[in-house]
Every structure is written in structure tokens, then in C-alpha cells.
Amino acid sequence: MFYVHPSSLQPNPWNPNRVDPINQEKLEDSLKVDGQKLPVLVRKDGDGFQIIDGQHRVEAAKALGIEILIYDLGEMTDAQAKKATLIANSRYGDNDPEALIALLSSE
């Protein structure tokens, strides 16, 4: 695990998870007051990293201008990455129904 500037991370294009502005603000406040409790999960993507879990934490870190802790899952296929994203999303947040349908029908 190591820290990176959040703008160096690329979001994945299939994440169906959405957080409303009020909860995003709460996440920013929590990150500012309590610090980061969980690393952002990423996979190798060319010369950089793609977010598997933690897009909203990354956005909060961008808003606060702070670095974020990441955990590199290494090389993953798109199918493995999509599955990991869905598993992570099941813990919190809400899936956008249309984005979830698109993701599940893409295989």
C-alpha cells in the first residue's frame, strides 16, 4: 500500500455505484476529520492504476487536495475487475439501475 495523488487514478467506466451529494459531503467531512480508514482498491492499467473500489473516496480526496492510500490488486481481467467492483459496491452506496443493467449485460 502506498499514497498517490488522487488525480493519478482512473475511474473504471462500468461502476454503477452512485452517492448523492449529501453523502459525498459527509464522506469528505469524515476523510478530513478522521482520515482514511480503508485503502482504495486499484488494478494496473497501462502505466497507471484504475479504481476498482473507492471512487467516492478518491473524489473526496480530490476535493480536499490530499493524497490517498491505495492497494494494488495487480493484473486483473475486465471480468475480474467488474466482479470485484460489484462485490465492493454491495457493502455501501446504491447502484444506478441503468448502469447496473449495462454492466451485467456486457458479458
Considering 18-22, 79-83, 90-94, the range whose residues carry the highest mean pLDDT is 79-83
| Range of lowest pLDDT (2-6, 41-45, 47-51, 84-88) | 84-88
Quick one: average pLDDT of 14-38? 86
Q: What is the pLDDT of residues 29-78, one digit of tens each?
A: 999 999 999 899 999 988 889 999 998 899 999 999 999 999 999 999 99
Share of the chain above pLDDT 70, in %: 83
Of 91 and 56, more confident: 56
pTM: 0.77
Share of the chain above pLDDT 90, in %: 47
Q: What is the DSSP string of the chain?
A: -EEE-GGGEEPPTT--EE--HHHHHHHHHHHHHH---SPEEEEEETTEEEEEE-HHHHHHHHHHT--EEEEE--S--HHHHHHHHHHHHTTSSEE-HHHHHHHHT--
